[in-house]
Amino acid sequence: METNTPDRILRLNAVLDRTGLSRSTLYRKMDSGTFPKNLKISTRCAGWRESAVNAWMRNPIFYDVQSGQ
């Protein structure tokens, strides 16, 4: 069953709450490619696609940014 709902953008605090990661760990994982990259929303605002965060949460040890899995 496919839905046509748009992907939500999660802000930093929501991502930290969902993942249980610290801010520094989250950014270190982004730099190493083991956590999804954030999207620039505006000049001073960034967020993460909810679907990308959910994909990471399904399998955080083997997540690869290139494959998104």
Name 36's Cβ contacts closer than 8 Å, sequence gap at least 6: 30, 48, 49, 52, 53, 55, 56, 65, 68
Query: Mean pLDDT across the chain, nearest whole number?
Result: 90
The pTM score is 0.82
**Residue, of 16 and 6, whose pLDDT is higher:** 16
18, pLDDT greater than 80: yes
Q: Could you report the per-residue pLDDT of 28-41, keeping only the tens digit for each?
A: 999 999 999 999 99
